[in-house]
Structure 1
Amino acid sequence: MTAETETQPTAGSCCSSTGSCHGGAADAVEVGVTTVYKVSGMTCGHCEGAVTAEVSALPGVTSVKAVAATGEVTVVSTTALDAEAVRAAVDEAGYELVGRA
């Protein structure tokens, strides 16, 4: 699954007005390509961390969330990533990229 995503404050929330109740980086707008991959072999938090570290090192990656329980790795990047680069990163972490979820 690949989709362009944009995170903005929800209308009616405390952040939807001109001023912000939070301040700082938490109010940043994140725009990019979100892709969910299926990875086999992850069984724990250590596995999630290893995959996250390797995939995070790819150029253009802004966010990675690996979930061992589902075998899914959600990646946000500035542009679409090369599938072979993602496969190599997952392989370097010691796991297998099955494909897109």
Structure 2
Amino acid sequence: MCNACSCGTADTATTETTSETTTDPFAAAETAVFSVTGMTCGHCVSSVTSEVSRIDGVSAVDVDLASGSVTVTSERPVGRDVVRAAVEEAGYQLVDA
């Protein structure tokens, strides 16, 4: 069981990278990388991936648990405050630049 966070999952903390992609060959891609604190297991990664993927225009989300980085690819620039709100909805914190 993951005791490092409050997600309550039976998963243990592991190094994990996940990616969720929807492709549109005609869309120009914008990429931004954010740092997130508090992720300790696969469930944490899934939660952040799910919430950030819901942002309008986001085509891919790549979360690296080991580094705490979240790479967001979108059709147009996505505001930091929008990403922050999604990360907080998942239960984690965006690190201020």
TM-score (norm. length: structure 1): 0.67
Structure number having the greater strand percentage: 1
Greater C-alpha radius of gyration: 1
Give 1:89's aligned residue.
86
Runs of 4+ with deviation above 6 angstroms: none
Report how far residue 34 of structure 1 moved: 0.6
SS at 1:48 equivalent: helix
- Structure 1 portions without partners, runs of 5+: 1-25
Structural mapping, 1:67-78, within 5 Å: 67-78=64-75
TM-score (norm. length: structure 2): 0.70
Task: Write the deviation string for residues 28-84 of structure 1: whole angstroms up to 9, x where unpaired.
Answer: 576310101000001111111000000000000000011111100010000000111
Cα–Cα, structure 1 residues 60 and 40, in superposed 2: closer, same or farther, change >3 Å? same
Looking at structure 2, the residues matched to 71 and 91 of structure 1 have their Cα atoms a distance apart, in angstroms, of 14
Q: What is the aligned residue count?
A: 74
Cα–Cα, structure 1 residues 80 and 43, in superposed 2: closer, same or farther, change >3 Å? same
Looking at structure 2, the residues matched to 65 and 47 of structure 1 have their Cα atoms a distance apart, in angstroms, of 13
Looking at structure 1, the residues matched to 73 and 52 of structure 2 have their Cα atoms a distance apart, in angstroms, of 10
